[in-house]
Structure 1
Amino acid sequence: MKTIKDLFIIYRHGLAGIYDAPEIESLTLMVTTELLNLTKATIKAFPERELSATQQEDANLLLSQLITGRPLQYILGYTEFYGLKILVTPATLIPRPETEELVEWVLSSVSHDCNLNILDIGTGSGCIAISLKKNLPGASVSGLDISVDALKTAKENALLNNVEVNFIETDILNINSEINIPKSDIIISNPPYVTLEDKRQMHTNVTDFEPHTALFVPEDDPLLFYRAIADFALLNLTDNGLLFFEINESLGKETIDLLGSKGFKNIELRQDMSGRDRMIKAYLAL
């Protein structure tokens, strides 16, 4: 019978050349917690624990899919985001740890007992909107997206996490004038910002499997969505409202200049845990 230790060795050999060593370790740990229904601490403490024949078979099946480059989150159908279980499909981006940092920045910037109106633009799986609602239960939270399939998953995630979020189907580049979108105290967005140059440096498990409409922007207009969202925010943020963005790490100055040119104040650029320019906060004083 194979043990947990054996499984880590098998995955290390099977995924070599596809992922680096830390990623393989992390993926194997996720697979093992899923298959054995054990905590990560237990798995690390008992590497000689044996797998059943069914567990070995399932582990081999998962490995064969991982070798194709398909992200584990899509294989399992879920991921964890800000302590919540979030369902993901090929219609939604897989939430990233740096987006958790953006959520944390929002939560540390507001009073938790205020009745805020919050809008998440390009909500995808709904992970940002849902985690904000979970931690700000008094807030009215909406999530906007162009993708019907993404919104279907977002609604399932709101139900799964027992929160009420208003999901809106529209294109931020061409908003349906018939849709009533309430004025917001906070607008937050992780919009498409990956250029073709960036794409060349990305792992194929992102470029081959994650939704391109949620990732890529024209090479000649990489701030397309930031401009549209900033213009929308000028009309739809309340006085002293806050705008939060996740950004392309190589376009921090350009994004700041864009917001400054439109009249936003106190623009703050923040780095993520890896030291990359990844987040911006700005005020709108009417």
Structure 2
Amino acid sequence: MILKEFRNYFSEALSEIYPKTEIDTFFFLLIEEKLHLQRIDTVLKPDFLIDDDMLLRLKNITKRLQKEEPIQYILGKTEFYGLPFIVNENTLIPRPETEELVEWIIKEIQEKRIKSKDVISNINEKSLSILDIGTGTGCIPISLANNLKCVKISAIDVSKKALQIARKNANLNNAEVDFIEMDILNTNKLNQQYDIIISNPPYVRELEKVEINNNVLENEPHLALFVTDENPLIFYKKITDLAKQHLTKNGVLFFEINQYLGKETVEMLAEKDFKNIILKKDLFGNNRMLKASFI
């Protein structure tokens, strides 16, 4: 089969499941990874011949996509903040919203360093100590390590299998991160004091499952996604309590949050004596990120 014919086959097979723009994205990712072709080659090389062995593999991938398996799991990798990351069924697939959180943190640190003053004490005189709680693929700490100088970064996750992937990703991106296996809900003390604590914990309520696409619901780890309807802020409350004990003077807490619980999360932080609380929207206009300081 030639490339032009395969594209027609691929588009037709997925047309009732995905929008055209998403099918095109899948197609270009697939030909780049498996055929080492670029988008422009669909125009320049429409008669590129796909041998029978490769065609069989591509058709098998098409069947997996028909079952709504994420393309990132099929390929075993994705990109986050311009860096490559290994992913599998033990890790959440990093989201664009989390890239926005990383961008916010990097800009905050860089701008404060330029101004030589910050709520974080002595920022120009020492390495910042940063902790990421619920790290998954390690996308947050690894991206920070690759974009910031003078930082010492640690990351926690409850899942041993997720941490195995995170360590591989750190090696892949030449990032120095100390990964720690820890169940944060059953932890009363962290290993040290930190200037910045970050977390993108599970925050999707059970009642919101109806809004979740099948490719997420049927494939990504529920341990990293869902909380009960009765106590949706369970991770935020616990992490905030730990942050009160383990943030340095004027230390900063960053959260990615449930878009529907922005007000409740702000109120919880205020009740626990955090100040300078900033609620930030993502590119889609949803309340998605929080920053707060503990003085």
Q: TM-score, normalised by structure 1?
A: 0.92
State how far apart, in whole Å, the 2-side matches of 1:237 and 1:176 are.
14
The CA deviation at 1:268 is: 1.0
Deviations 1:19-48 (A, max 9, x none): 2232222222211211222344x3465362
Q: How far, CA to CA, are the matches of 2:106 and 2:64 in structure 1? A: 37
Higher-Rg member (1/2): 2
Counterpart in the other structure of 1:78: 77
Counterpart residue number, 2:197: 187
Moved more, 214-223 or 50-59: 50-59
Kept in 2, the 8 Å contact 1:126–1:154? The answer is: yes
Q: Which residue of 2 is the match for residue 52 of structure 1?
A: 50
The aligned residue for residue 202 of structure 1 is 212
Q: What is the distance in 1 between the residues matched to 2:174 and 2:281?
A: 32
TM-score normalised by length of structure 2: 0.90
Partner of 1:174: 186
Asked if the contact 2:138–2:169 (Cα under 8 Å) also holds between the matched residues in 1, the reply is yes
Q: Residue 161 of structure 2: which of 138, 149, 154 is its match?
A: 149
TM superposition shift of 1:141? 0.5
Q: What's the offset of the Cα at 1:49?
A: 5.0
> 2:22 & 2:206 partners in 1: Cα distance?
24
Tell me: CA distance 1:250–1:51, structure 2 relative to 1, closer, same or farther (3 Å): farther
Residue of structure 2 equivalent to 1:274: 284
Asked if residue 164 in structure 1 is aligned to residue 176 in structure 2, the reply is yes
CA–CA distance in 2 between the matches of 1:284 and 1:38?
51
Q: What letter corresponds to residue 92 of structure 2 in structure 1?
A: L
Inter-partner Cα distance in structure 1 for 2:233 and 2:37: 44
The number of residues matched between the two structures is: 281
1:259 paired with 2:269, answer: yes
1:138 Cα deviation from its structure 2 partner = 2.1
Task: Please give the root-mean-square deviation of Cα atoms over the aligned residues, in Å.
Answer: 1.8
d(CA) in 2 for partners of 1:52, 1:251: 50
Separation in 2, partners of 1:38, 1:12 = 18
Amino acid at match of 2:152: S
The 3 A distance-change label for structure 1 pair 35 and 51 is farther
Partner of 2:239: 229
Instruction: Describe the shift of the 1:88–1:59 C-alpha distance in structure 2 as closer, same or farther (beyond 3 A).
Output: same
CA contact (8 A) 1:250 1:277 kept: yes
Bigger CA drift: 52-61 or 151-160? 52-61
**CA 1:183–1:67: 2 relative to 1, 3 Å:** same
- Distance in 1, matches of 2:82 and 2:41, equals 20
Q: Using a 3 Å threshold, how does the CA distance of structure 1 residues 51 and 284 change in structure 2: closer, same or farther? A: farther
* SS of equivalent to 2:184: coil
* Identical pairs, percent: 47
Q: 1:195, CA displacement in angstroms?
A: 0.8
Please state whether the residue corresponding to 1:243 is helix, strand or coil. Answer: strand
Q: Which amino acid aligns with 1:52?
A: I
Equivalent position amino acid for 1:46 in 2: L
- Asked whether the equivalents of residues 33 and 43 of structure 1 are also in contact (C-alpha less than 8 Å), the reply is no
Higher mean C-alpha deviation, range 106-115 or range 158-167 = 106-115
Gaps of 5+ in 1: none
Letter in 2 for 1:278: R
**Which position in structure 2 is the counterpart of 1:63?**
62
SS in 2 for 1:85: strand
